[in-house]
């Protein structure tokens, strides 16, 4: 086992992909000479050259569109968008082209494109760089959405994403880049279709993904000290959702709390709560609860940012209120 950071795990994954398939290249803002906005691609330009590590102009619509064209032409592009907020500038390309071309062409045109982007708050970078918009993009058919929350998933999700014949969006919570963890020196493969249980429990299911997995695990530890056994489910794949894993957990625990850094209204947490209510209503001993960010633009000041974001204490309180 080797101890590495989340950032280093992502870099290893990209490097492996570049070595394994000559059709693969990276493009985006500052991915080359600067080494990436979050230093994920640091050193790759020197190793692979400017043809495969391509700095682009500040035009998300332009370089995402170029990535779609390259994928249609047989390449395997990895497009980096600096933050999920900026993906809105390429929403036309993502939704009306990448996600739709397979259907609009009658199955003739696949778009094997991977788009990586940072998401989430906690860094004091203001409202334009801090929101969690995964739920917006999870609304779109034709896309696969991944949210690696662990070192292992950060290292191993990229290659199967590149092998997918259709577009895959990977959301990397910005607060995870500096986190450290152990990684097997000979990593194998990881499932990009299924949720997974990160912690077993009997009294309540905590559903989380990406940056909120750590919040849910911290809450589960606090609940244990209060005699409550919490099971933690990591969604990992946000579209398509692995509903059977969620329902199986709720059938065991009879309670569910969904932890989501996005706004509550129309969020991914709302979709999870609806599916549990629709399919596991008679397994529930209490209504499904949700712990989300307050519905305001993300503040800059640290104490206000912390107040807006879901915290472990908020999850503990939600569990206690449902009588677990």
Residue linked to tokens 């969604």 = 235
| Pairwise CA distance, residues 15 & 35, whole Å | 13
Confidence of residue 107 (pLDDT cuts 50, 70, 90): very high
- Do you know the residue count of the chain? 324
Residue 173 falls in the annotated catalytic set: no
CA-to-CA dists, residue 132 to 38, 82, 84, 307, angstroms: 17, 13, 7, 16
Of 280, 282, 291, which is closest to residue 249 (Cα–Cα)?
280
Cβ proximity of 309 and 260 under 8 Å: no
Helix (H, G, I), strand (E, B) or coil at 25: strand
- Dihedral pair phi/psi, residue 262, rounded to 5°: -75, 170
Whether residue 287 is predicted with pLDDT greater than 90 in this model: the reply is yes
Catalytic pick among 29, 60, 271, 305? 60
pLDDT tens, residue by residue, 110-152: 999 999 999 999 999 999 999 999 999 999 999 999 999 999 9
User: What are the boundaries of each domain within the chain?
Assistant: 2-183, 196-321
Give me the residues paired with residue 181 across strands.
4
State the pTM of this model: 0.96
Whether residue 217 is predicted with pLDDT greater than 90 in this model: the reply is yes
> What CATH number does the domain located at 196-321 have?
3.40.50.920
CA-to-CA dists, residue 165 to 7, 71, 157, 316, angstroms: 26, 9, 15, 41
Residue linked to tokens 């590495």 = 4
What does the pLDDT read at residue 186?
A: 82
What does the pLDDT read at residue 313?
A: 98
DSSP string, 226-289: TT--EEEEE--EEES--HHHHHHHHHHHS-EEEEEEEESTT-HHHHHHHHHHHHHGGG-SS--E
Catalytic pick among 8, 29, 80, 129? 129
Helix (H, G, I), strand (E, B) or coil at 34: coil
pLDDT tens, residue by residue, 222-268: 999 999 999 999 999 999 999 999 999 999 999 999 999 999 999 99
As its CATH architecture, domain 2-183 has: 3-Layer(aba) Sandwich (3.40)
Cβ proximity of 110 and 59 under 8 Å: no
Provide CB contacts within 8 A for 135, sequence distance 6+: 238, 260, 262, 266, 267, 268, 269, 270, 271
pLDDT tens, residue by residue, 153-188: 999 999 999 999 999 999 999 999 999 999 988 878
Confidence of residue 38 (pLDDT cuts 50, 70, 90): very high
Confidence of residue 323 (pLDDT cuts 50, 70, 90): confident
Cβ proximity of 102 and 110 under 8 Å: yes
Same topology for domains 2-183 and 196-321, yes or no? Answer: yes
Structure tokens at 14: 């990209």
Q: Work out whether strand 144-146 and strand 168-173 pair parallel, antiparallel, or are unpaired.
A: parallel
What does the pLDDT read at residue 187?
A: 78
Confidence of residue 1 (pLDDT cuts 50, 70, 90): confident
Residue 129 falls in the annotated catalytic set: yes
| Pairwise CA distance, residues 192 & 216, whole Å | 21
Provide CB contacts within 8 A for 285, sequence distance 6+: 254, 255, 322, 323
């Amino acid at each position: 086992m080797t101890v590495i950071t989340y950032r280093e795990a992502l870099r290893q994954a990209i490097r492996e992909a570049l070595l394994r398939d000559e059709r693969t290249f990276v493009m985006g803002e500052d991915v080359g000479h600067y080494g990436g906005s979050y230093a994920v691609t640091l050193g790759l330009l020197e190793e692979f050259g400017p043809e495969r590590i391509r700095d682009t102009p500040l035009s998300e619509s332009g370089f995402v569109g170029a990535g779609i064209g390259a994928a249609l032409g047989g390449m395997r592009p990895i497009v980096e968008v600096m933050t999920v907020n900026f993906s809105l500038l390429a929403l036309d390309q993502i939704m009306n082209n990448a996600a739709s071309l397979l259907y609009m062409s009658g199955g003739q045109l696949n778009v094997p494109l991977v788009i990586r982007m940072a998401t989430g708050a906690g860094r004091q970078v203001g409202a334009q760089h801090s929101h969690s918009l995964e739920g917006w993009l999870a609304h779109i058919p034709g896309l696969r959405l991944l949210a690696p929350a662990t070192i292992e998933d950060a290292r191993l999700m990229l290659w199967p994403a590149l092998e997918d014949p259709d577009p895959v969006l990977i959301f990397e919570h910005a607060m995870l880049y500096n986190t450290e963890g152990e990684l097997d020196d000979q990593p194998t493969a990881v499932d990009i279709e299924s949720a997974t249980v990160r912690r077993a429990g009997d009294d309540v299911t905590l559903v989380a993904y990406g940056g909120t997995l750590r919040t849910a695990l911290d809450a589960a530890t606090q609940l244990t000290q209060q005699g409550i056994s919490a099971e933690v489910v990591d969604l990992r794949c946000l579209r398509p959702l692995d509903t059977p894993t969620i329902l199986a957990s709720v059938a065991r625990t009879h309670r569910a709390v969904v932890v989501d850094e996005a706004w509550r209204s129309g969020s991914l947490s709302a979709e999870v709560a609806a599916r549990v209510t629709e399919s596991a209503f008679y397994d529930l001993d209490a209504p499904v609860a949700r712990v989300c960010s307050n519905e305001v633009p993300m503040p800059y000041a640290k104490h206000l940012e912390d107040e807006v974001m879901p915290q472990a204490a908020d999850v503990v309180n939600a569990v206690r209120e449902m009588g677990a």
